[in-house]
Amino acid sequence: MHDERRRIEERVERVHTQRIKPAIYAATVPFEVEAWQAPGEPVPFAEAAAAPYEPFAMDTPWGPPWGTTWFRMRGQVPAEWAGKRVEAVIDLGFVGDWPGNQAEALVHLADGTPLKAVNPLNQYVPIAHPATGGETVDYLVEAASNPDILADNFSAPTLMGDILTAGDKPLYTFRCADLAVLDEEVWHLDLDLQVLSELMVHLGEHEPRRHEIMHALDRAMDTLDLDDVSGSAAAVREVLAPVLARPAHASAHTISGVGHAHIDSAWLWPIRETKRKTSRTFSNVTSLADEYDDFIFACSQAQQYEWVRDNYPQVWGRIQDSVKKGQWAPVGGMWVEADGNLPGGEAIARQLIHGKRFFIEHFGVETKGVWLPDSFGYTAAYPQLAKLAGNEWFLTQKISWNQTNKFPHHTFWWEGIDGTRIFTHFPPVDTYNARFSGEEMDRAVRNYREKGGGTRSLAPFGWGDGGGGPTREIMERARRLADLEGSPKVVVEHPDAFFAKAREEYPDAPVWNGELYLELHRATYTSQARTKQGNRRSEHKLREAELWATTAALHAPGYAYPYEKLDRLWKTVLLHQFHDILPGSSIAWVHREAEAEYARVAEELEALTAEAVAALGGGATRVFNTSPYDRAEVVHTADGAPAYVKVPANGSAPLTDAGPAQPVRAEGLVLDNGLVRVQVAEDGTLSSVCDLRSNREVLADKGNLLRLHTDLPNYWDAWDIDKHYKNRYTDLLAPDSIEVVSQDPLLGAIRVTRSFGKGSTITQTITVRADSPRIDFETEIDWHEAEKILKAGFPVDVRAAHSSAEIQFGHVQRPTHTNTSWEAARFEVCGHRWVHIGEPGYGVAVLNDSTYGHDVTRTVREDGGTTTTVALSLVRAPRIPDPEADQGTHRFTYSLLPGATIGDAVAEGYALNLPLRVAEAAGTPEPVVSVAGEGVTVEAVKLADDASGDVVVRLYESRGGRAQGVLSTGFPLAGAQVTDLLERPLPDETAHIEDGTVAVSLRPFQVLTLRLQRGTTGR
C-alpha cells in the first residue's frame, strides 16, 4: 500500500479546523449590551446592579489594567430554536488560550445568582436544553481586565504588575456576545476527530492501529458534505464509531483522571483577584457537575474555600451540595498550597491543622493526603508532619522540572528525616493541568518509571495556574479514552481511590530518603528578601505571643487567652506562605501588600504579647526568654544600656546584672572577650577569628567576604539562579569607613560602611558580646542593583565531608563534594536558622535571622589543608515579574559561631531569632513547661484550640540522636496525652507521668505533641 500519511493527516487537519469547528454553533443572534466601568477596586453585585449603564458595541476596546467592567446583556431566544440546545457565547477579546491571566468574567442572573464564568477555553453559558423558544435572557457580567503578565514568555520586565504603575489604557477589544444554538452532533464529531487524530500521530509508524485510524479518518472525510456539515455529521460519526469502539489492550496503563483547577492564591495577580478567580472557577465546576454525573473534582486550599464562603454564598452552597453527592473532593488538608521549603516547622504543622479542621468542620470530610503539585521542592520533614496530621499519601508534580537529573520514581515511599514513610505519587503525565491530549497520554505511558511493578498513575485534569478548571470537552475526551485501543485507559475517580489501588498493587514500591530537591528555582530561597523576613519574624512573634498568652492565662486572674486573634493572625501568615508569595515569584503588587500585611501582623502580635506580659502585674523590670533554651547574654535595657542577664528557657528573670566571666576588650580593630578574638582588616573583612577556647584559627581566608555576582538566569528571573552566576563577580574590598562604635565591657562593636555598584550602600556592625563566642553582623543595605546577587562568604579551616542545614524540626546533611550530578546540582540550597560545618572534634555554624539560600563549597589549599566555605545569599535583584524587586532598604543580622556543635547551632539559632524581651512585670511565674534532657526542644506552647484550658506542648529531637528527657510544668498537672497535630489523642501512644512530670523519649528528629490537663488548684 502506498504511504499516504501526509495527505490524509493534512486533509483531516484542514477540514477539521476550517469546516467542522466553525459549524459547532449552527445559528446566532447578538445580545443587546450595555457597560459600566467600576471605579477603583471591585464592587459588590448590588452596587453594580444599581449603576448607570451605557450602550456598548462589539469591537470596542474596554478594560484598563486591573479594572472591572460590568456588562448588562439582554436577549431573547428565537421561537424557531425551540427544542434545540441554546447557549450564550461570550468572547471578551481573549488573548491566546491560557485562562489564568487575562480577561475573565463571571456571569450572573439579574437577581445576583452567579451562573458560570467565561474564559478563552470556556466561553459558553448554558441557557436551555431543549429551548422552548421565546425565553428572555438577562445577564450581568462582571468582567476583569487583568493584564497578561506572561506575555512573550517573560522576555522583558513590565510595569503591568502593579495597579500603581500599569496605566489606564484599555487592554481588550470585545468580540462577541451572542445567543447561539449548539449543534451537538457536530460538537461530538469535533471531539471524535480530536481524540482519534491525536492518538494516531502519537502511535508508532509501524503500528497497525495508527494506519487503521488514518484510513478511517480518510473515509470519514469522504463522507462529510462540506456544504452541509451539520446534516452529514451523524453519518461521519458512524464511520468513526468502529475505531472508537475498539477496546484497550488488557495490559494498557490506567490513568486515574482527577478534575482539578490549580489556582495560585497570588502570582501574576493580587490576592483580591484570586478571591474572584475562585468564584469563577468553582461556578464552572459546579455547573459541569450538573452536566456529568461521572465528574469528580479535587480541590485543595481551605483559604480559597473560605473566600468563596464569605463572598459568594450561593457558590458555596453549590460546593457543599457537590461534596455531599461525591463529585467534589476536598484534598490536601492545608490552608494553602504552601512553599515546600521555607515555612518553619510549626507553620507547616499549622497549615495542616487549619486546613484539615476547615474541611472537617464544613464538609464532614477528613482529607487523607497532602496535595502539593506545584511547590519548588519539598522538605524532608514532610513525611512525619503529614502522617502526624492523619494523612496517608502525598502528591507532587514539580520535580519533573529538574534541570539536570531525572527523578527515578513515580510511585514510591518517601522517607523523612525521622524515618517516617508516606506513600507518594508523582504523575508521569508531567502536568497538573492535563486535558487528555494524545501527547499527554503518550507521555504518561512513556515516562512511567514503575513499569513491571505498578500499572496506574494519576492525572489532574483541567486548566489551571490562574484557574479555569475542567471543561466539558475534557470530560468528553475522558469518556472516549475510557477503553480505547492504543491509548491508556482513563477512569475519572477520587484521588483517595487511586492511592488505595496503587498502594494495593505496589506495596513494596521503592523508597526515596530525604528531601525532594528541585533542581531549578533555587533563587526562591532569596528573592524578595523583605517578604521572607516578614514571614520569619511573624513565625517567631506568633511563638512569643502564644507562650506569654498561655503564661498569663495560667497565672493572671481575669486574663482571657486571645484564641480568635491568634487564629486570624496565624491564617494571615499561612496565606502568605503560598508557593508564589513566600518564594518571591509574584508581581510587585503581591509583594507590596505582603510587606504591609507583615507589618500589621507584627504590630498586632507585639500588642498581644505586651498585653499578656502586662497581665502578670507591673512594678519590676523583668527579662522574658521565648527560646526553649536557658540564656546568659547581654540585653539592652529601656535606656539603651547593656546588661548581662541569665534567663531560663520559656521563662523570665529580674533585670539584674549577673556579671559576665570576662569583659570585652576593643583594641584598634580587634575585639576580644576571652572566648574569641576577632580582627577586622583594613578592607573591612575579617582577617582572623581565633577560637581562644581551642587555641585555633577559624578562618582560612578573608571572612565575611561580600561578593557581588552577576545574576542573569536563562529564564524565570525571580525563580532561578543558574550555575554560571559564580563565574563573574566583584569582591567588595574598599570600605568607605571603619570605626569602633562600642567599647563597653559587655559589648564591643566595629562598624564598616561601603558603597558599590549603582549607588548601593551597606553598613555592617560587627559585634562581640561578653561570654558569647557568637559574632554578629548587623546589616543594613540600601540596594539599587539590577540582575545581581550579593553573598557573604565564610571560608573556614575545617575539612567538612558534609554541611548540616536546619530544616523544619531537624536538619539535613548534604555532601560538600560533587562526585555525582546529583550533588553538583545542589549548588544553591535552603536552610533555616543555621548551617553547620565541621570535622571530628570541631565545628562552626553560620546563623541568620531572615535568609534561607546559601551554598557550601570545599577546596584544598597548597598547604594540604581544606577550606570549607559557607556563603549566605543576602539579596538579589531580579527584574521579572517585579522590575523593582528588593530595591531599597534591608535590615537583618547573620552570625558566625566558632567551636559550635549541632546543639550550639540549634540554641543560638533560636536566640538570634527570639531576642530577649525587657518589660515591666511584678509576677514571677514559673515557666509553663521546662525540659531536662539534651536534644529535647520545645517548639510551641499554647492553649488547646478547643478552649478546654488544656495546655498543648510540641517538642522535637533537634540533634539527630535519641533523646531522653523529663518535662515539668509550672502548673499542677492532672494528666497528659500524646496527640496528633490536631490535638486528638493517639490511641497507641501513652504519656508517662511520674511525680508530676512527664517522661519523654524521642527517636532522632521525632515530633511529639503533648496535651496537658491542668489540676483543679491551677488557674
Cα gap 270→591, rounded to integer Å: 9
Write out the DSSP string of 251-267.
T--EEEEEE---B-SSS
DSSP state of 703: B
The burial of 864, by beta-carbon neighbours within 10 Å (0-12 exposed, 13-18 middle, 19 or more buried), is given as exposed
Q: Say how far residue 76 (Cα) sits from the centre of its chain.
A: 47
Cα gap 389→417, rounded to integer Å: 17
User: Which one from 162, 192, 374, 950 is the annotated catalytic residue?
Assistant: 374
Amino acid code (one letter) for 138: D
- 3-state secondary structure (DSSP) of residue 588: helix
969 DSSP β-pair partners: 929
Contact 353, 390 (CB under 8 A): no
Q: How crowded is residue 186: how many other Cβ atoms within 10 Å of its Cβ?
A: 24
Cα gap 289→495, rounded to integer Å: 17
Find all residues with CB under 8 Å of 457, minimum gap 6, and list them. Answer: 253, 254, 255, 256, 410, 411, 425, 427, 428, 429, 444, 448
Cα gap 1005→955, rounded to integer Å: 10
Cα gap 428→447, rounded to integer Å: 5
Helices 563-575/345-363 angle, 10° precision: 110
Q: Is there a cis peptide before residue 773, judged by omega within 30 degrees of 0?
A: no
Place of cell 502548673: 971
Place of cell 571530628: 840
Cα gap 246→164, rounded to integer Å: 58
Where b means 16+ CB within 10 Å and e means fewer, 896-912 reads bbbbbebbbbbbbbbbb
CA 112 → CA 106, 139, 286, 709, distances in Å?
Answer: 11, 9, 17, 55
Q: Kindly state the cell numbers that stand for 693.
A: 577556647
Q: How crowded is residue 565: how many other Cβ atoms within 10 Å of its Cβ?
A: 15
Cα gap 354→982, rounded to integer Å: 9
Helix spans in 621-778 (H): none
Find all residues with CB under 8 Å of 755, minimum gap 6, and list them. Answer: 736, 761
The burial of 459, by beta-carbon neighbours within 10 Å (0-12 exposed, 13-18 middle, 19 or more buried), is given as buried
Find all residues with CB under 8 Å of 763, minimum gap 6, and list them. Answer: 751, 752, 753, 754, 779, 780, 781
Instruction: Answer yes or no: 374 catalytic.
Output: yes
Cα gap 684→707, rounded to integer Å: 13
Which residues form the catalytic set? 374
